[in-house]
């Protein structure tokens, strides 16, 4: 009887440990995700020598060329065309160098053509509501920056959340990982960082993964940027009762 009890207890403990380990593995950034963070961060900062190293590492880890291109295209919406174009030119150089070494990189699939002919502003509103979890308001926004500059409100909905987010080379979670990495790296945009960390949690990125992303920024970009990001995340998790 005692022996059976011990065996049962052992089985329960083993099962708990196995579940915990599985949970930890699920919440840990994969190598591809780590490379997405470093590629986004170095491209945003314009540190092209380091970007070149990380592009090589990302391709070696299994990022396709089209996924890598999409990361560098996506970040222009958050740190500008100059950084994005420099990143793409660096990727072109990296691919050429790898080709001369006999490395044939996997280009991967391209974005599925968009067949939805619906109003682009409404499509953008729908995507934004999906990733934020906040129902889209009727009509157009007319308060705050949207009232002051209706043009940028149109660009945000029609271009960022329709043209860009509709492209399925990257998932919403991957796009938010790029966005958060860029915002942490450039610094000084804490309100927007808070919004996108919040969206990240909505689309499946875990608190522990966000913390790991901050650690990557600490090591590769700077302690000040990481400290500011950690403060934003701590406040966000507290407000969502996720500490």
- 173-196 per-position pLDDT tens digit: 999 999 999 999 999 999 999 999
**Residue linked to tokens 């996506």:** 74
Q: For residues 45-60, give the mean pLDDT.
A: 98
Look at residue 77 and tell me whether its pLDDT is greater than 70: yes
Picking from 146, 233, 150, the residue whose alpha carbon sits closest to that of residue 197 is: 233
For residue 164, tell me if it sits in a domain: yes
For residue 145, tell me if it sits in a domain: yes
Percent with pLDDT over 70 in the chain: 89
Here the tokens at position 198 are 């919040």
Q: Which residues contact 86 (CB under 8 A, 6 or more apart)?
A: 43, 46, 48
Q: For residues 203-208, give the mean pLDDT.
A: 97
Q: Distance between CA atoms of 53 and 71, rounded to whole angstroms? A: 16
Q: Is the dihedral of CA 38, 39, 40, 43 positive or negative?
A: positive
Least confident of 8-12, 97-101, 134-138, 149-153: 8-12
pLDDT of residue 26: 54
Question: Tell me: the pLDDT tens digits for 144-173?
Answer: 999 999 999 999 999 999 999 999 999 999
Is there a contact between 121 and 158 (Cβ–Cβ < 8 Å)?
Answer: yes
pTM above 0.75, yes or no: yes
pLDDT of residue 95: 98
What is the total count of domains within the chain? 1
* Residue 45 confidence class, pLDDT cut points 50, 70, 90: very high
Picking from 39, 28, 51, the residue whose alpha carbon sits closest to that of residue 205 is: 28
Q: Distance between CA atoms of 110 and 33, rounded to whole angstroms? A: 19
For residue 81, tell me if it sits in a domain: no
pLDDT of residue 142: 85
For residue 187, tell me if it sits in a domain: no
For residue 218, tell me if it sits in a domain: no
For residue 77, tell me if it sits in a domain: no
Q: Distance between CA atoms of 85 and 125, rounded to whole angstroms? A: 28
Q: Which domain does 128 fall in, by range?
A: 119-168
């Amino acid at each position: 009887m005692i022996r059976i009890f011990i065996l049962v207890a052992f089985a329960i403990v083993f099962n708990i440990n196995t579940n915990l380990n599985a949970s930890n593995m699920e919440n840990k950034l994969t190598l591809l995700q780590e490379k997405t963070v470093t590629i986004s961060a170095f491209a945003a900062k314009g540190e092209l020598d380091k970007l070149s190293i990380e592009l090589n590492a990302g391709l070696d880890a299994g990022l396709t060329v089209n996924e890598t291109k999409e990361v560098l295209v996506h970040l222009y919406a958050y740190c500008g065309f100059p950084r994005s174009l420099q990143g793409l030119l660096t990727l072109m150089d990296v691919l050429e160098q790898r080709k001369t070494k006999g490395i044939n990189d996997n280009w991967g699939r391209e974005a599925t053509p968009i067949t939805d002919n619906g109003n682009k502003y409404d499509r953008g509103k729908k995507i934004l509501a999906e990733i934020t979890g906040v129902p889209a308001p009727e009509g157009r926004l007319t308060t705050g920056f949207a009232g002051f500059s209706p043009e940028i409100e149109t660009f945000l909905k029609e271009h960022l959340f329709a043209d860009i987010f509709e492209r399925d080379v990257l998932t919403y979670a991957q796009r938010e990982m790029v966005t958060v990495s860029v915002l942490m790296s450039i610094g000084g945009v804490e309100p927007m960082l808070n919004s996108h960390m919040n969206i990240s949690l909505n689309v499946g990125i875990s608190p522990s993964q966000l913390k790991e992303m901050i650690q990557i920024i600490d090591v590769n970009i700077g302690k000040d940027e990481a400290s500011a990001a950690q403060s934003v995340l701590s406040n966000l998790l507290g407000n969502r009762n996720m500490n």
